[in-house]
Structure 1
Amino acid sequence: MTMKVISECFVRPQHEVEEAKRCYHLSPGDMFMLSIDPIQKGLLFSFEEWTDLNRPDIESLVKRLKRALSIALVEFYPLAGRFETIKYEDEHACSVYIDCCKGPGARLVHASYVDLTVSDILSSTDVHPAIRSFFDLGEKMVNYDGHTKALLSIQVTELLEGVFIGFTMNHSVVDGTLFIHFVSTLSEIYRSDLEGITEDLIRISRVPLYKMFAPDGYGPIFKVPYLEPEEFVIRYDPGLLRERIFHFSHESMARLKAKANGECGTQDISSFMALSGLEWKSIIQARSPEAHEKTACYLLLNARTRLDPPLSDDYLGNFLRAARVECNVDELLGRSLGRSARLSSPEVKKHTHETICQFIKWRCDHLFVMKPANSIVIGGLARFDMYGPEFGLGRAVAVRMGFANKDNGKVTANPGCEGRGSADLEICLRPPVMSTLEADEVFMDFAS
């Protein structure tokens, strides 16, 4: 399989944006992400049911996408800039901000695989190895590299009988909520252009909001107790992993929820809680750790709605918190599915406005905390409408992710293609552990 780069360009906002002339300072939540990989998610579209007469022309798609991107960047202008660092040598500290006018803009790549089909991607049990090259040409980076690399990159990759549109977005600028917001906005603009609406009349339904949240007495400039990037930027290698998509149908999710609630005699265990309990218990069991060892499950939460007053999902930035649930291995494996699922509820409820503010203050001095060995991290949400953006191509047939943020025990949830509450989980594990998980009859009774 050989990928060919057809074209590459950079795109700036359609017109000058006055607000873009101001510095956009990163919050503690944004700064925490500097050593982490960018967000990488993309949509796979099939042309199998299109006729030769109406089959999409990829070159035209790229040109229209470029126009839509220039319009979107008027509202999402930080994504066209680059990072800058301010050093405070007397304090041995630094802060990072976005110079929204620095650099050539967002990156747009048009590439092609002449010998790779949509069926190749869908039929692969593990995530197909070519997927990584669908994002930023497979170039590895961390968010700190936004000092010199684009904060937003879009790659359109032609396949036999289809196309993949991959989005790479700097995770120190946006979280998953804003990632979906941007992709949906871009598709909305694209659709308006496709319908013949002139550029000056195109309007978007949800504009991003710019207001940094900070506890009283903090901000707008956040300093961290490091002077040089080598002190806090870690380029982590997760080692050899298998990455596999497990599908949970609407019926399977309903059955899982009913089983968890039935075991506890309640109705308050959600589908997500039941699924999280199953993932945690099954993965730890597959690893076979010692019974007395500690194990933890980290659930990534959107903190916007937990603040007082709540913030809109339209606010730019990282509003992620991790609910950490911990117990002994034998305690977890000795519990039923329902009781494993309920372990997370008290920890999730602890994340109030007060505890979030306390965490932000603490985070200013503690950028990085390593997770224990017997843990899993569950990110993404099946409620994110990844299949909403269509770019004039109809509904996507799959969502896939690139190299970014893959680690042993990382689980990322996406909505299932069929909708109706179904879910797809991308699970990353050491190869022997993945094989053990695939042989787990309880887990595979719900997954396919």
Structure 2
Amino acid sequence: MVHLISKCMVKASPPPKLPADQKCHLATWDLAMLSCNYIQKGHLFANLPATLSIDNIIHNLKTSLSVALHHFYPVAGRFATQHELDSAGKVTGMAVFIDCNNEGVEFVHAEAKSISVGDVLAASSDVPDFIKSFFQLDGAINYDGHSFPLLAVQLTVLADGIFLGCSFNHAAADGTSLWNFMNTWAEISRTNTVVPSRPPVHDRYFIDGVKPPLKLPFSHESQLMDRFSPPPLREKMFHFTSEAIAKLKAKANEESGTNNISSYQSISALIWRCISRARGLPEDRLTTCRVSIQNRARLQPSLSPNYFGNSINVLCMTATAGELLGNGIGWAACRIHEAVVSHRDDAIRGTVRNWMEVPVFYKLSLVDESTVAISSSPRFDMYGCEFGWGKAVALRSGSANKLDGKVMYYPGWEGGGSVDLEVCLLPKFMTALESDPEFNQVVSPGAPLQVHLS
């Protein structure tokens, strides 16, 4: 259904002036991501101006991308590994860094003229499987950035719109950095500026006097790599209006006797409970809610919001299925809230020190069938990426980092605090979730994004 038209490499222009070694060292948060997949996120655009040709769109995207890469120059590089040898020449350690060599990022032009914008939105249905073909580097893990580009862009021309899919190396940057890059690229495309309003901060953060490069205690990359293939999953978008979220938040706070539980914590508690119920876990089965949390504002002193790289940890809340479902939404939300509040500067530094002693890598194969893994954030300005063709009508992701129990946050199209969740479950569990009474009291029926096509 998707046909390749052309492929090329886009480099930073003008090339950035860098030190002779051109190295961008990786911090612990970056290295921990080496075995995960790339981040795959894409925008669906409809109602394009009739005067705007595809050739003009492609030219503008490539030109503005080249300027964006001048400012985000590590993205145009490749990973490199330096091995540490003992006196006998045996490898005793390795250090991975970005060689900022301006080798470039990949840009692909493709066509899928048999697919419409409505097909992509798939109102009231699962996310169509063909969306996976709107992204490059399917199945790649971040360590593959040694030979693969750290960013691959695919513009797919549909029957009545376009889809801009980006595969971004997660060991080079987290979601905060990705969306700063995407919005900077869109800003350059839309305004023809050469000076972004939010220039990135490239100095990687190493705590407590730790000096790069960080050496990993491995003799071969196979010791840290993990290539995970999930079983067949159902993937579906669920919409939560701001009014429904406000009611859920009020209920969680009332049950907890507090006013401190956030909307995010309330929704995460709801999805933890409902997926656990859908799985039919025994009462004594331990279930885990894993939530990605960013560190920038929690460190003392805080990192710049424009810090480019990873600065995230994963919080793990556990409870037996009996505890989780035998108590109300407030109990689960309170568990998440307490973990978030405890994630302060001292806790963050402690996790880094522990990682330095025993490096641990995020591996999808280690996530068991009783876990709910929540990532991304509704605070990311995803719909702010306007390239000059108007606002996107929807956001979708590729196959990367998908597993049973994966949940990803998106801001709702209409704004105002609305939220979309992309949920991935085994088919039998998705069917049970769709009929869950607690879940259906909050989620909106159908796919309201269809209204934005008119």
Give the TM-score range, shorter chain.
Answer: over 0.9
Residue in 2 that maps onto 1:266: 258
Structure 2 portions without partners, runs of 5+: 445-454
2: CA distance, partners of 1:89 / 1:360 = 25
Secondary structure at 1:345 match in 2? helix
2: CA distance, partners of 1:434 / 1:344 = 23
On the 8 A contact 1:249/1:423 being kept in 2, the answer is yes
Which of 321, 331, 345 is equivalent to 2:323?
331
2: CA distance, partners of 1:399 / 1:433 = 24
Of the structure 1 ranges 421-430 and 251-260, higher mean CA displacement relative to structure 2 is found in 251-260
2: CA distance, partners of 1:213 / 1:67 = 31
Asked if residue 79 in structure 1 is aligned to residue 75 in structure 2, the reply is yes
Secondary structure at 1:243 match in 2? strand
Q: TM-score, normalised by structure 2?
A: 0.93
Question: 2:399 is aligned with what amino acid?
Answer: F
Residue in 2 that maps onto 1:314: 306
Secondary structure at 2:114 match in 1? strand
Question: 2:284 is aligned with what amino acid?
Answer: H
On the 8 A contact 1:377/1:410 being kept in 2, the answer is yes
2: CA distance, partners of 1:112 / 1:310 = 44
Residue in 2 that maps onto 1:32: 32
Secondary structure at 2:318 match in 1? strand
Residue in 2 that maps onto 1:197: none
Structure 1 portions without partners, runs of 5+: 194-200
Q: What is the CA deviation profile of residues 93-136 of structure 1, one whole-angstrom value per residue up to 9, with x for unaligned ones?
A: 11101111163x11111111010000011125111111111111
2: CA distance, partners of 1:373 / 1:7 = 41
Change (3 A) 1:122 1:404: same
Query: Structure 1 residue runs of 4+, over 6 Å off?
Result: none
On the 8 A contact 1:85/1:94 being kept in 2, the answer is yes
On the 8 A contact 1:20/1:78 being kept in 2, the answer is no
Residue in 2 that maps onto 1:172: 171
1: CA distance, partners of 2:37 / 2:435 = 31
Of the structure 1 ranges 9-18 and 183-192, higher mean CA displacement relative to structure 2 is found in 9-18
Question: 1:205 is aligned with what amino acid?
Answer: S
Asked if residue 107 in structure 1 is aligned to residue 102 in structure 2, the reply is no
Secondary structure at 1:358 match in 2? helix
Of the structure 1 ranges 252-261 and 314-323, higher mean CA displacement relative to structure 2 is found in 252-261
On the 8 A contact 2:270/2:439 being kept in 1, the answer is yes
1: CA distance, partners of 2:194 / 2:315 = 40
User: How far off is 1:447 after superposition?
Assistant: 1.1
On the 8 A contact 1:8/1:107 being kept in 2, the answer is yes
Q: Aligned runs of 1:176-191 on 2, under 5 Å?
A: 176-191=175-190
Residue in 2 that maps onto 1:296: 288
2: CA distance, partners of 1:169 / 1:31 = 15
User: How far off is 1:213 after superposition?
Assistant: 1.4
Question: 1:189 is aligned with what amino acid?
Answer: I
Secondary structure at 1:386 match in 2? coil
Asked if residue 13 in structure 1 is aligned to residue 19 in structure 2, the reply is no
Q: What is the CA deviation profile of residues 377-416 of structure 1, one whole-angstrom value per residue up to 9, with x for unaligned ones?
A: 1111111110011111111110000111111111100001
On the 8 A contact 2:288/2:318 being kept in 1, the answer is yes
Residue in 1 that maps onto 2:447: none
Residue in 2 that maps onto 1:150: 149
Residue in 2 that maps onto 1:366: 359
2: CA distance, partners of 1:351 / 1:249 = 29
Of the structure 1 ranges 35-44 and 89-98, higher mean CA displacement relative to structure 2 is found in 89-98
Q: What is the CA deviation profile of residues 285-337 of structure 1, one whole-angstrom value per residue up to 9, with x for unaligned ones?
A: 11111111211111111101111100011111110111111111111111111
Of the structure 1 ranges 212-221 and 405-414, higher mean CA displacement relative to structure 2 is found in 212-221
Residue in 2 that maps onto 1:127: 127
Residue in 1 that maps onto 2:451: none
Asked if residue 212 in structure 1 is aligned to residue 204 in structure 2, the reply is yes
Question: 1:172 is aligned with what amino acid?
Answer: A
Question: 1:426 is aligned with what amino acid?
Answer: E
Root-mean-square deviation over aligned CA pairs? 1.5
Residue in 1 that maps onto 2:41: 41
Question: 1:78 is aligned with what amino acid?
Answer: P
Change (3 A) 1:405 1:60: same
2: CA distance, partners of 1:59 / 1:110 = 10
Which of 274, 284, 301 is equivalent to 2:276?
284
Secondary structure at 2:332 match in 1? helix
Question: 2:45 is aligned with what amino acid?
Answer: F
Asked if residue 389 in structure 1 is aligned to residue 388 in structure 2, the reply is no
On the 8 A contact 2:44/2:393 being kept in 1, the answer is yes
Residue in 1 that maps onto 2:56: 60
User: How far off is 1:423 after superposition?
Assistant: 0.5
Query: Alignment identity in percent?
Result: 39
2: CA distance, partners of 1:443 / 1:271 = 15
Question: 1:406 is aligned with what amino acid?
Answer: K
On the 8 A contact 2:29/2:311 being kept in 1, the answer is yes
Asked if residue 97 in structure 1 is aligned to residue 97 in structure 2, the reply is yes
Q: TM-score, normalised by structure 1?
A: 0.94
On the 8 A contact 1:20/1:101 being kept in 2, the answer is no
User: How far off is 1:165 after superposition?
Assistant: 0.7
Question: 1:25 is aligned with what amino acid?
Answer: H
On the 8 A contact 1:86/1:96 being kept in 2, the answer is yes
Residue in 2 that maps onto 1:196: none
Question: 1:166 is aligned with what amino acid?
Answer: G
Secondary structure at 2:18 match in 1? helix
User: How far off is 1:340 after superposition?
Assistant: 1.4
2: CA distance, partners of 1:431 / 1:309 = 46
Residue in 1 that maps onto 2:415: 419
On the 8 A contact 2:9/2:105 being kept in 1, the answer is yes
Secondary structure at 1:116 match in 2? coil
2: CA distance, partners of 1:88 / 1:237 = 32
2: CA distance, partners of 1:274 / 1:44 = 29
Asked if residue 354 in structure 1 is aligned to residue 343 in structure 2, the reply is no
On the 8 A contact 2:61/2:189 being kept in 1, the answer is yes
Residue in 2 that maps onto 1:445: 441
On the 8 A contact 1:20/1:100 being kept in 2, the answer is no
User: How far off is 1:361 after superposition?
Assistant: 2.0
